[in-house]
Copies of this chain bind each other. A is one copy, B any other.
Amino acid sequence: MSNTEREVHDAARRAKDAAADLAPMSRADKDEALAAVADALVAEAASIVAANAEDLDRARAAGETEAYLDRLALTEERVSAVADAVRAVADLPDPVGEVVFGSTLPNGLELRQIRVPLGVVGIIYEGRPNVTADAAALCLKSGNAALLRGSSSAYSSNTRIVEVIRGALEKTGVPADAVQLVPGSGRDSAQALMSARGLVDVLIPRGGANLIQAVVRDSTVPVIETGAGNCHVYIDEHADLDKAVAIAVNAKAQRVSVCNAAETLLVHEGIADRFLPRFLREIGDLGVTVHGDDRVRAVDDRAVPATEDDWATEYLSMDLAVKVVGTLDEAMAHIRAYSTGHTEAIVTDSQAAARRFTSRVDSAAVMVNASTRFTDGGEFGFGAEIGISTQKLHARGPMGLREMTSTKYIVTGDGQVR
């Protein structure tokens, strides 16, 4: 066992002890701790911005782009927004203790299945340092200890933010070890988290496809897979033309860098002549490059030829693959072959088509006459999200506080035996 592995596993052990104390805490005590964290972030904003300046200097020296520097940068205003997000989490209902199932058994035993915290949640993330406070707040609210492993590029910012959070917790009933930054920032610290089976209850990777695949492959700790979205919009033969154009444009172009943006548009041949000219003009004017099949390219010569790769690509850019299909079933077969199971939408006025699509398309979210962009914890009314699960076990789709819980059965009797 390497030094890093030993240090990370020691941190996980402390997190496990903290989680045991945190699990039975009342909502009032947890909310008070979150308020203290928010206040401390505001009070210590200057020192957090100073630590962030070190990260920015390193990033500049490494020749990172302006866009990268902007994502990394913290100002006192941004720290204040992070504190507001922590307060918003405090305002959400506490999922712990919710009774999800219950009955009185024939022998008089009273059975209740209630939500309990998962325990220790490890989060491996890239990018912006605001995720640090955000993830810590979601874990605390749901009664979980957080083991945070951010990117090395934000190490100084993350270190200071976690110091501030722990300092605030020390004045509350929540143990400071409920929020820890994983020691080290290299690949070995992530690996040490992945091998901490029995100490860490779940790992949630947040970031690009490479990070997520590495965690899924290497971790012996259970993983919730998040994120990759090769999302499809299918324009049915019976679609309302105005809605079809509006939804397809919005799904692709409203924000292209996010997992719920559409990457492939499938158009029924029965509506292609009316839909495609108008849609291709609008989307082309927005600067989107269309990768189309022959029938698409016959309508708009700006479209480039689509290859097999295009159907499988999550562009996250101003690109869109477009294909004409003969039937609803052909559209669904295409989706089944290429989708990552995130979100697919149908635009149709046919009840039969909508029903067939929603019952047969096997994705975390299936939209009827709505943009794929709505697959989001905030849009779904969860108040916050830790990520969007694209796996089928435990949680699927946007993960709010409920998805950060397990359950246990409490069975109360008066002497029953078998």
A258 to B367, CA, bound (A): 46
Residue of B nearest to A366 (CB): B410
- Chain B residues with Cβ below 8 Å from A224 are 393
CB <8 Å contact, A254 and B418: yes
CB <8 Å contact, B119 and A417: no
CB <8 Å contact, A418 and B250: yes
Copies in the complex: 2
Indicate whether A407 reaches chain B with its CB closer than 8 angstroms. Answer: yes
CB <8 Å contact, B408 and A362: yes
A250 to B225, CA, bound (A): 43
CB <8 Å contact, A363 and B408: yes
CB <8 Å contact, B368 and A410: yes
Cross-interface CB contact of A222 among B359, B360, B391, cutoff 8 Å:
B391
Indicate whether A364 reaches chain B with its CB closer than 8 angstroms. Answer: yes
- Chain B residues with Cβ below 8 Å from A249 are 417
> A105 and B392 in contact (CB under 8 A), knowing A20-B362, A397-B408, A408-B365?
no
Indicate whether A240 reaches chain B with its CB closer than 8 angstroms. Answer: yes
A412 to B246, CA, bound (A): 16
Indicate whether A63 reaches chain B with its CB closer than 8 angstroms. Answer: no
A391 to B415, CA, bound (A): 28
- Digitize A102-123: 1 where CB-to-B-CB distance is under 8 Å, 0 elsewhere: 0101000101010010110000
Interface residues in chain A, defined as those with a beta carbon under 8 Å from any beta carbon in chain B: 20, 23-24, 103, 105, 109, 111, 113, 116, 118-119, 197, 201-202, 216-217, 220, 222, 224, 240, 242-243, 246-247, 249-251, 254, 336, 354, 358-360, 362-371, 373-375, 379-381, 391-394, 396-398, 406-418
- Please give me the 10 A-B residue pairs with the lowest Cβ-Cβ distance, nearest first: A370-B413, A250-B417, A243-B415, A392-B406, A394-B394, A365-B409, A24-B359, A393-B394, A368-B412, A370-B416
Q: Can you spell out 30 A-B residue pairs with CB atoms less than 8 angstroms apart? A: A20-B336, A23-B362, A24-B359, A105-B379, A118-B392, A119-B362, A202-B392, A202-B393, A217-B220, A354-B412, A358-B410, A364-B409, A365-B409, A365-B410, A366-B409, A366-B410, A366-B411, A367-B412, A368-B410, A368-B412, A373-B417, A374-B416, A374-B418, A375-B411, A380-B409, A392-B406, A393-B393, A394-B394, A396-B408, A398-B409
Q: Given A222-B393, A369-B412, A371-B418, 15 other A-B contacts at CB below 8 A?
A: A20-B336, A20-B360, A111-B380, A222-B391, A224-B393, A250-B417, A251-B417, A365-B408, A365-B410, A366-B408, A367-B411, A369-B414, A370-B412, A370-B415, A394-B394
